[in-house]
Amino acid sequence: MTHDFLQPLVGCFAMPAGEDPTVVMIEAAFRHHGLNWRYINCEVAPEDLGDAVRGARAMGWRGFNCSIPHKVAVIAHLDGLGASAEIIGAVNTVVRRGDKLIGENTDGKGFVGALSRVIDPAGQRVVLFGAGGAARAVAVELALAGVAHITVVNRSAGRGQTVASLIDDKTPASADYAPWNGTYAIPKGTGIVVNATSLGLYPNVDQTPDVDTDTLSPDMVVADGIHNPPLTQFLKAAQARGCKTADGLGMLVGQGVIGLKYWTGIDADAGVMRQALLDLGL
Ligand code: NDP
């Protein structure tokens, strides 16, 4: 029997660490590409985060993901931030570069990667529903990918205005906030519509953003951050209107592909990773 104590490790610091599709997706890629690596899910209480990061350093981990509630708190324990993580102010992926641990944010990068297979974001006008952590990351990456303007539509005005100001102040794109009082009509000239709220996430699969779907037109691309189920009511309505769509499973896989590139240097097979998630029943 052989023991490979030098097997490279990456992982996730989460709280609580439950069933995590990311483990399945990343380990499927390791197997497919013949990498003898492991991805480990660790439950880390907020007060233990510093010790957990020191442990990852001491054990030579190649990196790790951070879930809520660690995405902001982890920054104090790192040596530096990537450009978009700096603007977003949150980290979901940590990468060991030399002897430094650098924080990156792949939430929005995965989204833009998946979206870019359907439309080039450069120069587009975007309507973005939501202003939470996912929306903030998506907005920053869309802005860095060259969209012209983002209208942030959110139930809570304060959070919506904060994301719009962040885009206006810290990126080359312009942005404004639009209140979400009743059914929202998509303005003409919009190229990309994004649901980055939690509406439609399992088990609330019948929830959908309050949008006048008659204002969707076939020249618009509609994207949803919800990965479970991948075909949300919102995407179904958009497809019925003739729109091209990008689903949240593509965003999740896109994040995994970028994380694997950071950690291992390989270009992972997105199809294998998506199939591993579909096999889970997502
Ligand atoms: P947050 O809790 O930070 O934000 C939730 C957002 O949804 C807020 O804008 C909130 O509005 C809005 N919202 C919630 N309920 C309603 C409602 N009834 N009506 C209108 N707006 C509502 O969550 P996150 O940003 O972290 O995540 C949002 C979604 O994105 C999650 O469902 C998550 O699964 C998904 N996600 C997907 C990823 C992927 O890889 N596919 C990656 C990361 C997230 P308000 O500000 O008014 O409360």
Go through the domains of the chain in sequence order and give each one's CATH number. Answer: 9-105+251-280 (3.40.50.10860), 109-246 (3.40.50.720)
Confidence of residue 1 (pLDDT cuts 50, 70, 90): very low
Confidence of residue 18 (pLDDT cuts 50, 70, 90): low
Confidence of residue 281 (pLDDT cuts 50, 70, 90): confident
Active site (catalytic) residues: 71
Return the ligand 1 atom nearest residue 159 CA.
46
Confidence of residue 58 (pLDDT cuts 50, 70, 90): very high
Q: Give the separation between CA 96 and CA 87, rounded to whole angstroms.
A: 20
Question: How many CB atoms neighbour CB 47 within 10 A?
Answer: 8
Residue minimizing CA distance to atom 17 of ligand 1: 199
Return the ligand 1 atom nearest residue 135 CA.
25
Most ligand 1 atoms within 8 A of CB, residue of 66, 155, 205, 232 to mutate: 155
- State whether residue 217 is helix, strand or coil: coil
Q: Are 25 and 276 in contact (CB under 8 A)?
A: yes
**The pLDDT of residue 2:** 37
Provide mean pLDDT across the span 157-168. Answer: 98
Q: Mean of the per-residue pLDDT values for the chain? A: 93
Checking phi first, is residue 132 left (phi over 0); if not, alpha (psi -120 to 50) or beta? beta
Mean pLDDT comparison of 2-11, 16-25, 34-43, 135-144, highest-scoring range: 135-144
**132: CA distance to ligand 1 center in Å?**
6
**Phi then psi for 229, rounded to 5 degrees?**
-85, 155
Nearest to 86 by CA among 98, 103, 73: 103
Residue 73 has pLDDT above 50, yes or no: yes
pTM over 0.75: yes
Confidence of residue 105 (pLDDT cuts 50, 70, 90): very high
**195: CA distance to ligand 1 center in Å?**
9
Most ligand 1 atoms within 8 A of CB, residue of 67, 128, 198 to mutate: 198
